[in-house]
Amino acid sequence: MRPKPTIICITTLLALCLGAGSAPAKERTISGKFQGRRTEGNFQKKINRKPGEFKKKTTWQTERGEGRREAERNWNKENRSGNYRSATTTAGGKTFSREGTVTGTAPGTYTQQGTLTGPRGKTSTVDRTSVRKDDGTRSVDTTYTGPGGKTLDSEKTISYQDGARTVEGGYNTGTGKSGTFNSRSEVEDGRLRTTRELTNQDGKTWRQNTELYREDSTLIREVTNTRPNGESTTFEQSMTVEEIEVNP
């Protein structure tokens, strides 16, 4: 889907960039420009934050038109429960939405139930359980159910060691497809380097290597994708913050 690189640049890269900044203010407006794999343009993001509540609204303008995304998260510390919702409209006019709840059922254990609605109005559901183990690792079991009743079950283990984050897991579908996946992320020489692999039931493996780093006010993400036949493609995404307005 063509709009995806745009969304990655604005949401994922901006979130990482802001995470490296100062303590969050109650309200911030960030604007700038981005360069995706297939498109480029300008963006503006408004963030409102207070205890137990987080709201953000992102708009972006490309040669195809304007896109927008609104998201909200709420969390009640006393009863260990919360909810989330988001709605996205791409520059091409397609709409996506998701909503759900998260509940803490025990120390270190959370469950999630949610729905995802695509541009044609078809809805999928997600059920997830996340458990922190005594050894410090976290196991995450997820079931996705599509609008036609088809399912995908995924299980993974997340661990941290020597400054690196590793993920190992596998998946099975209701149609007999299966596979394994893994990833490793660590910071080296000021760059966040991540390697990912996915191998299907036929033994075919897809690989991705990414590097994320900052140059002044620009965040750059370099990506190399390698297909099972060994062919590789490389591209770059970037986001430049031009203005930040803070309202305490």
Task: State both tokens at 240.
Answer: 């430049």
Pairing of the two strands 138-145 and 151-161: antiparallel
Q: Hey, CA dihedral for 182, 15, 61, 33, is it positive or negative? A: negative
Per-residue pLDDT of the chain (248 residues; tens, 9 = 90+): 333 333 444 444 444 444 434 444 479 999 999 999 889 999 999 999 999 999 999 999 999 999 999 999 999 999 999 999 999 999 999 999 999 999 999 999 999 999 999 999 999 999 999 999 999 999 999 999 999 899 999 999 999 999 999 999 999 999 999 999 999 999 999 999 999 999 999 999 999 999 999 999 999 999 999 999 999 999 999 999 999 998 87
Domains detected in the chain:
4-247 (2.40.160.10)
The CA radius of gyration of the chain, in Å to the nearest whole number, is: 19
- On whether the CB atoms of residues 59 and 66 are closer than 8 A, the answer is yes
Residue with tokens 């031009």: 242
> How far is the C-alpha of 130 from the C-alpha of 236, rounded, in Å?
33
How many other CB atoms sit within 10 Å of the CB of residue 179? 19
Mark residue 220 as left, alpha or beta (left: phi above 0; alpha: psi -120 to 50; beta: remaining). Answer: beta
pLDDT reported for residue 4: 39
pLDDT reported for residue 247: 82
> What are the residues facing 186 on neighbouring strands?
193
Helix, strand, coil shares, percent, the chain, to 5? 5, 70, 25
SS3 78: coil
Task: State both tokens at 233.
Answer: 């493609």
